Structure 1
């Protein structure tokens, strides 16, 4: 066996091992669209608050319910788009979309995210709004970091970025909304674009 054949075999083995241990069908385009949804939703939320007669983001009554609905719509659109595009990419690559690896990935991602969501609902119910943006970023970043071992390793960098933004946001609670926009909006677009050109566009 020549050295070139040996190296090619090693490369193929590494590729097969990577496919069997990591879910690699995540779509970069879904990240871009999730960021766009977040920016549109944030613009709508900002417009709501500005037209509520307040100069700060303390929410109650109708405005609060509309903000929650806005967040739910962003989440549903982002998840729906990710599922659709990821499924489409997996079929194109002849990869399984639902197996034990996918279950481990979802469990690793959902558990910290769900715990964070419940905690945020509790503090919102106590009318403590100042750290909401920071907590969303922190728990989302931790969820990404926890799930990164079952998917593309690059996702951990998005997780680290969200965690850092969340910690900075905690230091400046009055700017939590803007850190949320940076984390969920611009960072998703940047990450999604990098993933799209690195893995999707061939």
Structure 2
């Protein structure tokens, strides 16, 4: 009876060791196939920068409406368009710089590579829908100047598709952020006059919420 109990105990401990070994192997495989250095704080930073950018964009639009610093007619519209494009590029550069900084810090802290085959695959899959969306929006601005109302929803939709496409190479949570961006963009198509509000919510608020969730889920306490 005693020998039987010893054998059962040994069997259980052996099974636990095997399960733990399998768990470790699975985690190692998951690390090798997914880019896990992505920091939630980069999402928070990008969201804050997007909200600041939306504030300045709103200010520029108000100046245009009230003709403060803007001329009348096509020239005034072109100036507004140029200023908004400059602002958008500036916001994008700062958000990307912050994202790279936070991600680099996390990779250094966890002793993980920031540039490998997985990160390259992530960027390629992210870039394809973003490039298509960028060319689509540029074509709208050049050939259909009266379609400004669908630029904001187009940004949200293509960005959401890019996140969904790239999510298989990093945290799966990003897929849900992508779904939210696409849905928000589609809703925005029916409320064209509120494009800036939807843009601010999608790139600002959703990024902050997502970033905080990712931080508390994966990074806090590390």
Q: TM-score category by the smaller chain? A: over 0.9
Map of 1:156 onto structure 2: 175
Map of 1:147 onto structure 2: 166
Map of 1:25 onto structure 2: 37
Mark the runs of 5 or more structure 1 residues left unpaired by the alignment. Answer: none
In the TM superposition, structure 1's runs of 4+ consecutive aligned residues that sit over 4 Å from their partners are none
**Mapped partners of 2:77, 2:50: distance in 1:** 21
Map of 2:192 onto structure 1: 173
Map of 1:36 onto structure 2: 48
Structure 1 SS opposite 2:148? coil
Map of 2:128 onto structure 1: 111
Indicate whether 1:65 and 2:77 are aligned: no
Q: CA deviation at 1:54?
A: 5.3
Indicate whether 1:84 and 2:101 are aligned: yes
String of CA shifts for 1:30-60, please: whole Å, max 9, x gaps: 00010000000000010111122259xx982
Map of 1:182 onto structure 2: 201
Cα RMSD, aligned residues only? 1.6
Q: TM-score, normalised by structure 2?
A: 0.86
Map of 2:220 onto structure 1: 201
Which protein shows a greater Rg? 2
Q: How many residues align?
A: 200
Structure 1 SS opposite 2:37? coil
Mark the runs of 5 or more structure 2 residues left unpaired by the alignment. Answer: 1-12, 68-73
